[in-house]
Chains A and B, each alone.
Chain A
């Protein structure tokens, strides 16, 4: 159902690191795969990310965190998503995330996180599959 409706993804970088190479490459790959990508840019707060995702009615929030602060940013965004009633959307992203941290985050409801060297097509497929399985209309 509804695989023909566009997938909308909000992409941003929370916190303070300015390394946006990954976020840009992935954003471009998502667009090439036919998705609609709203790019938020650098230095986003959890509040600004979630507020934007709400207004955009995004299916997916994708965050890139390369500053080592992933255990701060991902949980905060997830918590806020639940609080604001968009806990049913996918929170995914990338960074340098040790397996142990990934497990903790998964338990909180965060989706799969990708690392350096992961081909962007893995992220594209993951998002497409997730949306296929989870999207409920309005």
Chain B
């Protein structure tokens, strides 16, 4: 083909369609070397395993070790969830991930008045060490890495986990896993908080310090963009707000007197993988590059492990449809592939029925199988960063990095992330993006198959739906009431009093929380004790 014909082809009429990404980014018809700056293939890129890690954190990537297949699971009682854990391990899953119910996420016991109707509904109910014992019954805590998705009360759910390990004789140094523990994105997106930001951030720093000394293999935080994206953010907003949250924790820990290399290697991240394939891959690559640069250049971290942005990826719940749920299998496969091509360390694939209910066994199994097909059949795991050097990918990676940097500058100008959150900046940005995307769907500029186009009229649902029986709540409430009668209540009171006293000082609270947990103090009792000192945060609704 002569260049002349090519030119004519490129000016030929195109479909009457929207060619922007799902985040509204303009795209060209074709990308060429002209779209790249010299550094895009030079200092911006490097090799997998080399700074700035655009191409991945390991030289061999998935040849060395496949990503951890980690399906988020939790519903009903501790026993029920324990069974789901075992079901997943038997089918080849390589790590566990715990979903807690709403009362647990808010720090309340199952018998709290506002817990009514919520116990065990969207995750497992954990009120005390007793539930933690049953939740991990006969699961080898020193072998299976365990992730716990919890934030506001993360510290005392974590100490319940530690107490259980200690009681079972598992040394804390052997424990591997992740606790989400990321409060800033709660204020931004998920709205599950207890105290104002300052005491929460103090608890997070306490965790960093405690784990550095006692639980060295544990990821002390999972700085999460997932929920920010689910709340309606664009890819660039997810990237920017998440990393800015990360810098805020680093600042806080340094402020609290820690050396950056003592805690930074245990920071981990959690991103969304949405439907826009290339933009998502670029976002994940940009995340690694930005984090590495700031940790090395700005914070002066010496340990290369401090530069690594290691992350978990979950496919986008908000991309799933209640209509023709089987089609969600396809969406999830595409999103999961983007996560893998973006170089994730662990991956959760959503189940097809998640827009309808908690996942059934069948749906979870298909979701896991989707990862296995990508890992073992597709061949994409054979080569590290197979898309590296693509004109489009490298260009998008740079654009996302630049957009994130310009958000950082804006947020710094506001006095940092906490200040920006107080004035509602990220919240408003996200709300606006969510509304814009909804308008694009309503006007059919963007398509969701089976929702605003290609609708299957009079559809009959053909997949099984998991139901959580009402008995779960009754049983859980009865159990927590009984616990409060049968445990050593003097020990409970002593431990809570000591906690309250320590909270009024600058002392590290984790050892005190561990003591409360050993005494079978309930989650709600600990929450209430700390509220006495720290106060409660109230909703700031921003539009």
Contact = CB atoms under 8 A, between A and B. Distances in A.
A115 B115 CA distance: 23
A73 B117 contact: yes
Interface in B94-114: 102-103, 105-106, 108, 113-114
A116 B357 contact: no
Nearest to B442: A119
Contacts of B116: 15, 69, 72
A82 interface: no
Nearest to A40: B541
Contact count band on A: 20 to 34
Contacts of B121: 67-69
Interface string A1-33: 000000000000001111111001101110000
B539 interface: yes
A115 B321 CA distance: 9
Interface string A100-123: 000000000000000111011100
Between A21, A43, A45, the greatest number of chain B beta carbons within 10 A of the residue's beta carbon is seen for A21
B358 interface: yes
A34 interface: no
Interface in A70-128: 71-73, 96, 98-99, 115-117, 119-121
A120 B442 contact: yes
A43 B116 CA distance: 12
Given A43-B539, A117-B451, A120-B442, A71 B191 contact: no
B191 A20 contact: yes
Between B106, B435, B465, the greatest number of chain A beta carbons within 10 A of the residue's beta carbon is seen for B435
Contact of B118 (A42, A67, A117, A121): A67
Contact of B117 (A25, A39, A71, A121): A71
A56 to B, nearest CB: 16
Nearest to A75: B117
Nearest to A100: B465
Given A16-B115, A16-B118, A116 B321 contact: yes
Nearest to A31: B543
Contacts, number: 101
A72 B470 CA distance: 10
B114 A21 contact: no
B471 interface: no
B192 interface: yes
A25 B114 contact: no
Interface in B46-89: none
Nearest to B470: A71
Nearest to A28: B435
A73 B441 CA distance: 30
B191 A116 contact: no
A27 B431 CA distance: 11
A21 B322 contact: no
A24 B118 contact: no
Contacts of A17: 102, 118, 122
A61 B452 CA distance: 26
A130 B441 CA distance: 25
Interface of A: 15-21, 24-25, 27-29, 39, 41-43, 45, 67-69, 71-73, 96, 98-99, 115-117, 119-121
Given A20-B231, A116-B318, A120-B442, 20 more contacts: A15-B114, A16-B102, A16-B108, A19-B190, A19-B191, A19-B230, A42-B541, A43-B114, A67-B118, A67-B122, A68-B121, A68-B122, A69-B118, A72-B117, A73-B117, A96-B355, A96-B356, A115-B355, A117-B355, A117-B448
Interface of B: 102-103, 105-106, 108, 113-118, 121-122, 186, 190-192, 230-232, 318, 320-323, 355-358, 431, 434-435, 438, 441-442, 448, 451-452, 461, 465, 468, 539, 541, 543
26 contacts: A15-B114, A16-B108, A18-B191, A19-B190, A21-B230, A24-B543, A27-B543, A28-B543, A29-B438, A41-B539, A42-B191, A67-B118, A68-B358, A69-B102, A69-B117, A71-B117, A72-B116, A96-B322, A96-B357, A98-B465, A115-B355, A116-B322, A116-B355, A117-B323, A117-B448, A119-B442
Kindly list the 4 A-B residue pairs having the minimum CB-CB distance in the complex, ordered from nearest: A72-B117, A18-B191, A69-B117, A68-B121
